[in-house]
Amino acid sequence: MTNRSVIFFDIDGTLLNHDKELPNSTKDAVFKLKELGHEVAIATGRAPFMFEQLRKELEIDTYISYNGQYVVLNGSELYTNPLNIHSLEKLTAEALENDHPVVFMDHEDMRANVQEHEYITESIGTLKIDMFPSIDPHYYKGRDLYQTLLFCTEGEERQYAQQYDAFDFIRWHPVAVDVLPKGGSKAKGIQKVVEKLGFSEDSIFAFGDGLNDREMLQTVKNSVAMGNAEEEIKEVAKYITKSVDEDGILHGLKMVGLL
């Protein structure tokens, strides 16, 4: 076909339902897109090692991980945007004093700075992945980190946001916050991919549901919010499809004319 498009899918609440299951209709739709000649990619806040099995199941090797900080195109690293380590070291020390543990994350692994903590167990457990961070309080030294998890209750992250202007703080769980490089987003990761692939803005589509999808859905011309999305996310999207549990991906792809 001549009218090829590239479609970016968020994972949690978009490709996967709230039980972290991939609906059959979604899997079938992804493979149909590829049969039609479209490019299919993932855009997620997760680390690459947190969705490796999903990539294999869907045969997807282009992805934006860590909300845009680590981007891979056709299996090869395309773009990285690591955290400022000096600022991270200061934040970690302050967080430790406040009994707010952190988990350091690069493209291969994640390590906690404390032995165990109920907030880490509670929030990581909701991801339903087959791994848990081991302890290494100095994991940030001598390597690039693309995201850090800060564990604190809602509102407590404000004290850090006011002090550390090198970072953005995005909450994804009642006791967990993503710490990202300032201004980093899925939208910037998408820009790197489409520049390399040469797609026009009319041929770019994105599906998402969470707060970390805001910039992506605001920036991509053909943006689709899931029916289960936050209301403020629905407001910035061009289209709204059904919930992930109501074959929302399939419905949305038909709605925008891709299937």
pLDDT one-digit tens code per residue, 183-201: 989 999 999 999 999 999 9
Domain match, 155 and 197 both: no
The verdict on 30 and 154 lying in the same domain is no
What pTM was computed for the model? Answer: 0.91
Supply the range of the domain harboring residue 68: 6-80+184-255
Number of domains in the chain: 2
231 inside domain: yes
**Percent share of the chain, pLDDT over 70:** 99
Shared domain for 75 and 188, answered yes or no, is yes
Query: Is residue 130 one of the residues assigned to a domain?
Result: yes
**Would you please indicate which residues are annotated as catalytic (active-site) residues?**
10
Q: What is the pLDDT of residue 2?
A: 54
Domain membership of residue 1 (yes or no) is no
Do 162 and 147 reside in the same domain of the chain? yes
What pLDDT is recorded for position 165? 96
Q: Are residues 89 and 204 in the same domain?
A: no
Asked whether residue 128 is domain-assigned, the answer is yes
Domain boundary at 181, 196, 223, which?
181
Q: Is the pLDDT of residue 60 over 50?
A: yes
68 and 189, same domain (yes or no) = yes
Residues comprising the chain, all counted? 259
Average pLDDT across the chain, whole number: 96
- Model confidence band, residue 131 (pLDDT cutoffs 50, 70, 90): confident
Q: Examine the domain organization and report whether 158 and 31 are in the same domain.
A: no
Spatial neighbors of 207 by CB under 8 A, at least 6 apart, are: 7, 8, 9, 10, 14, 223, 224, 225, 226, 241, 249, 252
Flag whether pLDDT at 1 surpasses 70: no
